[in-house]
Structure 1
């Protein structure tokens, strides 16, 4: 028999439980007044095929999301297994998140990170308040993928690589 513990308000314990589910790591980026702005998000998921929608969850305390939310296009890059450093930079609270990183601008202003395994050109479709986060639905306008390339995975509060069995 599995005994469940009550959710107590200990965010560290809840984060540990959530961390048992592996996720990919994405970069959500765009140009804002000609300057690159972006963040890492491991809460990315596919939502709908028709219309084409994906989602990310963003902390309400994010200082980056307010700069991104009203821009016409956002580039979503599914980071590759060799991009741990880029993921760490894009998740940093301070410093130049784009120092030494290579990226390409879409015609509408989204930023796509070089070395990713998939890229989506998106716009904000809807934003739904959800506790201490917002669930952001993104409409997909363009895409490209390298299906043979391995993604970066976040599991147990660590970056990991997939291994074929």
Structure 2
């Protein structure tokens, strides 16, 4: 196996949570995509990061946006994960959402939503890393949606025993 295949194998075996990141473009049109490259960065100030592939159609609007929202998906939101990972579909026409007081599209049902102002965009190979300062937080008591081996699902109940 070459290094790219080995890298994909190792990373595919690393379970992560699943998020959908949303923003609006310069015309106010809502944009969103499924992201599993998400992490906390800082407590003081509250900061997070996520990465975006330079080849996606929404790359430029996301990297130029002054704010974005990260939705940590709940275990019953597999349909939202798939919807925002698909190309050529009306994502926001196929889910329940509203515009927040910060002007961001917020998808209903997430276990948590972090609204952020863009702090920094860092070039990193074929992706860019967006670092955001958290300006608003919503949290619900739900279980997370997980991504592992190119599939998503919930934490098995035996995990909690």
TM-score for the superposition, normalised by structure 2: 0.90
- CA-based RMSD of the aligned residues comes to 1.6
Task: Tell me the CA shift for residue 9 of structure 1.
Answer: 4.1
For residues 151 and 9 of structure 2, the distance between their equivalents in structure 1, rounded to whole angstroms, comes to 11
Aligned to 1:156: 149
Aligned to 1:122: 116
Instruction: Check whether the contact 1:89–1:98 (CA below 8 A) recurs between aligned residues.
Output: no
Query: Which of the numbers 123, 128, 145 marks the counterpart of 1:134?
Result: 128
Cα pair 1:74 1:109 within 8 Å, conserved: no
Unmatched tracts of structure 2, length 5 or more: none
Moved runs in structure 1, 4+ residues, more than 4 A? none
> CA separation in 2, counterparts of 1:71 and 1:109?
12
Aligned-partner SS, 1:150: coil
Structure 1 residues 98 and 137 mapped into 2: Cα distance closer, same or farther (>3 Å)?
same
Cα offsets for 1:7-66 (capped at 9, x unmatched): x343x4322210111111111112332322111100111111011110001111121121
Question: Conserved in 1, the CA contact under 8 Å of 2:39 and 2:49?
Answer: yes
Aligned pairs for 1:6-17 (under 5 A) are: 8-10=2-4, 12-17=5-10
**Partner secondary structure for residue 92 of structure 2:** coil
Q: Which moved more, 1:111-120 or 1:27-36?
A: 27-36
**Residues 1:36 and 2:20 aligned together:** no
Q: Which has the higher helix share?
A: 2
Q: Is the 1:72–1:108 Cα contact (8 Å) retained in structure 2?
A: no
Cα separation, 2, equivalents of 1:13 and 1:88: 25
Q: Which runs of 5+ in 1 are unaligned?
A: none
